[in-house]
């Protein structure tokens, strides 16, 4: 799912983790996601709130007065709370409902509201950001901009490669997490327990995934996001390359196939599908 996030949405998640640490909280909740979102006033999510006459500074102050500051700053990665994870799933649902093939800060905002019970939802509801009103404002702002997707999702040449993510299979999982975060300064963008995707704060398209060895069997070595996965599949078949996993539309909004290179390295070649 994280693969569908725009650069701004990825940045918002990284900022959410920073907010949790700043407030000395040991997990990323809905309140931290909202704080991360409004730290980028140029994002669609923040602009929607401003267009609804909701003060970003007021939202920030209300959240901080509600949750307070913890006693100790957490060490290492800060995991998401169950509510925080739910917001990411709801953001995907909102993107699909609006027939967008990406997840932006506007979808994160809608996910925060539709979650309904977390600190962020309560603060936003009190401020006047109800779900239907906010969704309508998202649509209005995007139409006003004359676009249904941000720049990264505009059409590109059919063979364009947008992103390459190496998948490192690790028998020293905890040590690897520490290496990529402490040494290279990567931030955790997605953490499923057995697989963690790290993102560079300075360049959100620079990513690397670490997989636990016991769970990595059959997982590809590289993920390659392309503009036209059907075209690339036809090209692979025509070229006589070994197809390890046939072209498939997955339930989580990705269309992909696995192909093996001459060295035995398996590539996950994929594109995002549009919402239903």
Whether the pLDDT of residue 267 is over 90: the answer is yes
The 10s digit of each residue's pLDDT in 205-231 is 788 888 887 665 677 888 898 878 888
10 with 204: CB under 8 angstroms? yes
Tell me which residue of 226, 219, 179 sits closest to 195, measured CA to CA.
Answer: 219
Q: DSSP secondary-structure letter at 263?
A: T
Averaged over 90-113, what is the pLDDT?
86
The confidence score (pLDDT) of residue 23 equals 82
What tokens were used for 23? 């407030």
34 with 63: CB under 8 angstroms? yes
**249: β partners:** 255
Q: Which domains are seen in the chain, by residue range?
A: 2-152 (1.10.1780.10), 155-272 (3.10.180.10)
213 with 176: CB under 8 angstroms? no
Range of weakest confidence among 70-84, 113-127, 233-247: 70-84
Range of weakest confidence among 105-114, 127-136, 262-271: 127-136
- 3-state helix, strand, coil split of the chain in percent (to 5) is 45, 20, 35
Q: Give the confidence band of 81 by pLDDT, cuts at 50, 70, 90.
A: confident
Tell me which residue of 156, 223, 170, 257 sits closest to 4, measured CA to CA.
Answer: 223
Averaged over 176-204, what is the pLDDT?
82
Whether the pLDDT of residue 204 is over 60: the answer is yes
What is the C-alpha to C-alpha distance for residues 151 and 164, in angstroms, rounded to an integer? 19
Q: Is 276 helix (H, G, I), strand (E, B) or coil?
A: coil
What is the C-alpha to C-alpha distance for residues 257 and 227, in angstroms, rounded to an integer? 14
Whether the pLDDT of residue 246 is over 80: the answer is yes
The 10s digit of each residue's pLDDT in 18-43 is 888 888 887 888 888 888 888 888 88
């Amino acid at each position: 799912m994280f693969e569908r996030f725009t650069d701004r949405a990825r940045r918002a998640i990284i900022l959410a983790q920073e907010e949790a640490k700043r407030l000395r909280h040991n997990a990323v909740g809905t309140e931290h996601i909202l704080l991360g979102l409004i730290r980028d006033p140029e994002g669609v999510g923040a602009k929607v709130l401003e267009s609804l006459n909701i003060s970003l500074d007021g939202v920030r102050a209300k959240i901080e007065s509600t949750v307070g500051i913890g006693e100790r700053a957490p060490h290492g990665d800060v995991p998401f709370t169950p509510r925080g994870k739910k917001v990411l799933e709801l953001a995907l649902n909102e993107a699909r409902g609006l027939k967008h093939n990406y997840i932006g800060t506007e979808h994160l905002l809608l996910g925060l509201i539709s979650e309904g019970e977390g600190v962020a939802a309560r603060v936003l509801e009190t401020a006047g950001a109800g779900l239907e009103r906010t969704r309508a404002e998202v649509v209005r702002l995007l139409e006003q901009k004359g676009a249904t997707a941000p720049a990264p999702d505009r059409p590109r040449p059919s063979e364009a490669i947008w992103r390459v993510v190496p998948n490192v299979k690790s028998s020293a999982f905890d040590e690897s997490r520490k290496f990529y975060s402490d040494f290279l300064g990567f931030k955790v963008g997605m953490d499923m327990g057995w697989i963690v995707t790290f993102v560079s704060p300075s360049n959100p398209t620079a990513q690397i995934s670490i997989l636990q060895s016991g769970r990595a069997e059959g997982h590809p070595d590289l993920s390659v996001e392309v503009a036209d996965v059907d075209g690339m599949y036809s090209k692979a078949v025509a070229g006589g390359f070994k197809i390890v996993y046939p072209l498939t539309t997955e339930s989580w909004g990705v269309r992909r196939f696995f192909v093996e290179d001459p060295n035995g390295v398996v590539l996950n070649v994929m594109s995002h599908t549009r919402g239903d």
